[in-house]
Amino acid sequence: MGLKIRLASPSDTGAIASIHVRCWQHAYRGFVPDAVLNALSVAAHEQLWRHGLESGAAESRVWIAKDRGHALGFCATGSSRDDGSTAGTGEVGAIYLEPDRIGTGVGRALFEHAVNDLLERGFHAATLWVLLRDNRLARRFYEVAGWQPDGAQQASSRGGPGLIEIRYRRDLN
């Protein structure tokens, strides 16, 4: 495998949006109503990602993993968006992988790259939110990487009513 991880550019938004939608439809089927998953639009997600990448917020970065030119996944990081967070707290805002690449090591390499970048940029801790308490696959992925739930929960603004997100945290030093 010739895995390459680099900063995403606006020309990557189609691949990012496609991965984002397919991953949601794969990972959350049975948890999120089918009507919500079936209504996800690659075109709408592409617009959102393009806007984010073109706005060029200095603290935000989107990393894309590719093999032989084919996008396999992406990870978005930046400063924590949580109320009351300190200036030295970063956030992993998203990590999504082509469903057929789950368990192959691509996600682990991408995640480690993005978290190492947060450390190199001076963040001393980082958080991330996991959609669904019962999302055992994602929770195991983060826990193997040294992340732990910190007790914070919130109602999700994505995926329909009644869904809860839990926050994970890790010291980066």
Domain ranges of the chain: 3-126
> One-letter amino acid identity for 80?
S
7 close to 58: Cβ distance less than 8 angstroms? no
Q: Render pLDDT for 44-72 as a digit per residue (tens, 0 to 9).
A: 999 999 988 888 666 799 999 999 999 99
Banded pLDDT at 1 (limits 50, 70, 90): low
Tokens standing for residue 22? 């397919």
Q: Quote the mean pLDDT of the chain.
A: 93
Q: Render pLDDT for 145-170 as a digit per residue (tens, 0 to 9).
A: 999 999 999 988 777 677 899 999 99
Tokens standing for residue 106? 């691509």
Give the predicted TM-score (pTM) of the model: 0.93
Sheet holding 89-97, edge to edge: 3-7, 61-67, 70-79, 89-97, 125-131, 164-171, 148-155
> Residues 71-95: what's their mean pLDDT?
95
* Radius of gyration of the chain from its Cα atoms, rounded to whole angstroms: 15
Among 66, 91, 96, smallest CA distance to 81 is for 91
Which residues, at least 6 apart from 85, have a Cβ–Cβ distance to it below 8 Å? 79, 127
Task: Please report the pLDDT score of residue 133 as a whole number.
Answer: 74
> One-letter amino acid identity for 60?
S
Within the chain, residue ranges assigned H as helices are 13-27, 34-38, 42-55, 106-120, 136-144
Task: Please report the pLDDT score of residue 52 as a whole number.
Answer: 87
Within 80-122, residue ranges assigned H as helices are 106-120
Superfamily for the 3-126 domain: Gcn5-related N-acetyltransferase (GNAT) (3.40.630.30)
